Amino acid sequence: MAKLFRRGRIWYAWVPGRGGGVRKQTTYCTDKRAAGLVLARLEREAADSDYAAANKVTTESILQDYLDSRRRMNRAAGTLSFVVTKSGHLKRLLPARAACITHAVLVRYFDTRVGEGAAPATAKKELGVLRGALRLARRNKLFRSEVSEVMPEVGGEYIPRKRALTHFDAWSLVDYFNDGRGAATAFMIGTGARWSECAKARAADVGDGFVILHGTKTKGAARRVPVTTLGAPFVREARAWLAEHDRFPGWGNVRRDLRVACAARGLAPVSPNDLRRTFATWLRAAGVEPTLIGAALGHTTSRMVELVYGKLEPEALAKLLAARLGDGSLMGGDRVQSAPLPALPSPHDTAENTGSAVARGGIEPPTRGFSALGEPRRSSTKAAKSEWGWVANGSDSAAGKSRRSKGPAPLARCAAGLAVLKATDPDDYAERVAAGEREGRRGRRGANER
């Protein structure tokens, strides 16, 4: 009996049945060669149950399995919402059968999403969700191809925004609104709340020293945020509204209204997340550590603060470095500056470079064209005594008792250099002190012998 036969224009096939025997099944093909390929697939499915399951599973089912696995892992509600949102586009554009997902199909998917207006970073996040779903399906023997061979290499690295308001611009934006939208804007600036957390805020959540935020995006999103001196005026503005209305009004299109307000005030556009970034930027500019800022923002680590929220402008960074290093540690600006760090003297400085006289070599003939470094000895007066008891070239007698030093050049001739070296590199400072003391003892011992 022939395995393929035709009825009308459609080819049918006799394939092995599940309980034994054979069964008739259409190939949906009008070409005999194509029908033969379908028959080969049907016969393999009948012989290999894993192959049959992988060949019948749908894209929607593997995405649902991935979402269920995230729920079993007790992921935050914001993470689950992210998976659901990204899965919607995957279900819409990818083939119904997961077995039909190939590298070429995913390349077309990425190009289609970008052509629809989605940012490359957004399309890449959607492919990231699909990658997780395919890996889970492969572990369950529902996807036969190697995931690394299927996933395309695409660009679209996330570039974090740097938009943050100044204090003047923040109040200008708050004062633009005459209703609760201004209070909600002040609430996000003063507490670093997400837009969803701001919408859930109630009057009872705002206390004297803390604000309760009902976040769900991460495990640390539900938190109590201390009211800082930087955010206190904005929190008071929001508290006044909440005391009368208990909650902020519904805000249908917050991004559009913020763009309109910024345009009216002559500001660059901001988003609700930019208001949250403003809170973090102010704290970082004030010298607060990223770990503390991350806790205030509801992050489990400080990584997002370091990469996204805590970026400092060069001026703010300069002020912070100057505060950490001490007054006058940075060049430029309005602050009083200290003298620049002088160059360290070299053991082989010449007379032309140092300006010191050519010393005679005792009983040896005078050495022309070279200068002898100052001999280490104990200074006779406290005023002339240096850090280690060294004296500079030219301060010794004209008889030329000094000789070339074999150790490091003495730094006591530069008090400013010593102070900076001691503050910036204590190990190098201690090493040079010890070397100076050794040279001093060697010089005194040689003088006694002579």
Quickly count: other Cβ atoms within 10 Å of residue 299's Cβ: 22
Quickly count: other Cβ atoms within 10 Å of residue 106's Cβ: 21
Q: What is the pLDDT of residue 18?
A: 67
Tokens of 141: 């023997």
Three-state DSSP at 206 gives strand
Which burial class, exposed, middle or buried, applies to 415 when counting CB atoms under 10 A from its CB (0-12, 13-18, 19+)? exposed
Q: What is the pLDDT of residue 136?
A: 94
Q: What is the pLDDT of residue 50?
A: 66
Q: What is the pLDDT of residue 38?
A: 84
Distances (CA, A) of 10 to 45, 69, 71, 140, 362: 21, 42, 46, 35, 117
Q: What is the dihedral of CA 378, 380, 381, 382, to 10 degrees?
A: 20
Quickly count: other Cβ atoms within 10 Å of residue 425's Cβ: 12
Whole-model pTM: value is 0.52
- Residue 16 has phi, psi (to 5 degrees) of -60, 140
Tokens of 173: 């934006």
The whole-angstrom separation of Cα 113 and Cα 92 is 11
Q: What is the pLDDT of residue 112?
A: 95
List Cβ neighbours of 110 (8 Å cut-off, separation of 6 or more): 120, 123, 124, 127, 152, 154
Q: Do 376 and 390 contact (CB within 8 A), yes or no?
A: yes
The whole-angstrom separation of Cα 327 and Cα 319 is 10
Angle at 273 between CA 296 and CA 199, to 5 degrees: 80
Nearest residue to 195 (alpha-carbon basis) of 217, 228, 211: 217
Q: Do 113 and 256 contact (CB within 8 A), yes or no?
A: no
Give the torsion sign (CA, 325, 327, 331, 333).
positive
Question: How many Cα neighbours within 13 Å face the side chain of 137?
Answer: 32
Q: Do 56 and 127 contact (CB within 8 A), yes or no?
A: no
| Chain-centre distance for alpha carbon 136 | 29
Structural domains of the chain in order of their starting residue, each with its CATH number: 4-47 (no CATH), 59-150 (1.10.150.130), 167-325 (1.10.443.10), 351-449 (no CATH)
Angle at 358 between CA 352 and CA 360, to 5 degrees: 160
Written as tens digits, the pLDDT of the chain (450 aa) is 458 888 889 989 888 776 667 888 888 899 988 988 888 877 777 776 766 666 788 999 999 999 999 999 988 888 899 999 999 999 999 999 998 899 999 999 999 999 999 989 899 999 999 999 999 999 998 888 899 999 999 887 767 778 889 999 999 999 999 889 999 999 999 999 999 999 999 999 998 889 999 988 877 888 999 999 989 999 999 999 999 999 999 888 999 999 999 999 999 999 999 999 999 889 888 888 888 888 888 887 777 777 776 667 777 778 777 777 775 444 444 444 444 434 434 444 444 444 444 444 444 444 444 444 444 444 444 443 344 343 334 334 333 444 444 444 443 334 545 555 566 667 777 777 777 777 666 666 665 665
Distances (CA, A) of 86 to 83, 128, 130, 131, 133: 5, 9, 9, 12, 12
Q: Do 368 and 357 contact (CB within 8 A), yes or no?
A: no
